[in-house]
Structure 1
Amino acid sequence: MTDSNENIAGKVVVITGASSGLGEATARRLVAEGARVFLGARREENLRALADDLGDNAAYQVVDVTSRDQVQQFVDAAAEKFGRVDVVVNNAGLMPLSPLDALKVDEWETMIDVNIKGVLYGIAAALPRMQEQGDGHIITLSSVAGHTVLPNSAVYSGTKYAVWAITEGLRQEVGGEIRATIISPGAVDTELPQRISHDEAREGADALYSVAIDADAVARAISYAIAQPRDVDINEIVLRPTAQAV
């Protein structure tokens, strides 16, 4: 069990994409550090099992981040359950890599809907509440792919560059009271590569992810950002496996 952190204990943290991977690891770490978490994803069975495992400091609601209404209802439900929303972790994301000439337009549109619009909907749902509170923290999961582009990653990288820009713009606009953090992981052991439908792109991802680090590495980075005092905003953290070259 992780020791409670005085700057994390009692905070209400809303997490999308919380049914597995980075979202699940983050929820587990933050509850261990004294936070209360409100979990969202599409897979209710996973959410229920995680919330039951975490106990009274966790609750959940099924949410599809491509629906603005559902995201608003999700954030509102978190506030109703726990009394406020201190942190939003925009974690939900997809990575169906492919070369552009494969013309997987449906996958491009899904990535834009989840990776970009999902983040914007999270901001739109939480920002007015945080401004009213005079305090808050929005954490967005970008990627190393939001800093460099490789073959087969053009659209995915485009979505991650976009959320980097959106979060940095948010920081500049509301940074007097509300903190904004971008977390950009490299290869992490999650389900992301399993959803790649293009064979060549899948092989390349499998090679990259052969050195993947545990999801708790990202959870620790998120915890670190939240744990800082209010006058310290960790704007960006980039973390990779030591063995990852790009």
Structure 2
Amino acid sequence: MPYEPPTHTVERSLRATTGARIVAGVDEVGRGAWAGPVTVCAAVTGLRRPPAGLTDSKLLTPKRRTALAAELEQWVTAYALGDASSQEIDELGMTAALRLAAVRALEGLPVRPDAVILDGKHDYLGSPWQVRTVIKGDQSCVAVAAASVIAKVRRDTVMAELEAETEGCAAFGFAANAGYPSPVHKAALEELGPTPYHRLSWSYLDALPRWRHLKKVRLSAEAAALESGGQLGFDF
């Protein structure tokens, strides 16, 4: 299906209205998974023409996404990644875990951004960062699209390595499902129970009588709403 390529429109607007010179695009992956970290990438691209075919990572084939991520890592002015582990997600709730991962990414950049373009409609980053939220920013903004692709490929690689290298993880199919809901993943959970990489505050445990006792109490109504809503509703 044809799509419009991302542009620097929002970045130019931020430069014109706020005086920001360094603008980072930020996107996350892994919010709706049952296992693994949530990963955030912060990318600074300037106003240069992006590589051909850049768009939201979910619109790319795995092969094209992997090749493009390698190209982007060389093309961007700077990028950094931040993770929040499954344990941190359980302890903090998803919103706070997203902020933690995003701050880790932003603070990993060699220069602090003057402004941040954040994918989506909710500002989970907040003060002291100057944030502009953009719905579908991973399709419309160059820096956010770049962050989307790099974050997705990195997290997918981490999950595949868990399956290949960690005893007890092979049955869960992490290389194929990246820790998201799938029939293989659910069957393994029913038989083997959660691994140390699973989010124990997530509502999938309610449907697993043998392992329901492992569920951690959610810390807030906000966390409960995000987790139940994210169980099956987020894109891979």
Asked whether the two chains share a fold, i.e. TM above 0.5, the reply is no
- TM-score interval for Structure 1 and Structure 2 normalised by the shorter chain: under 0.3
- Structure number with bigger Rg: 2
Query: What is the TM-score normalised by the length of structure 1?
Result: 0.24
Query: What is the TM-score normalised by the length of structure 2?
Result: 0.24
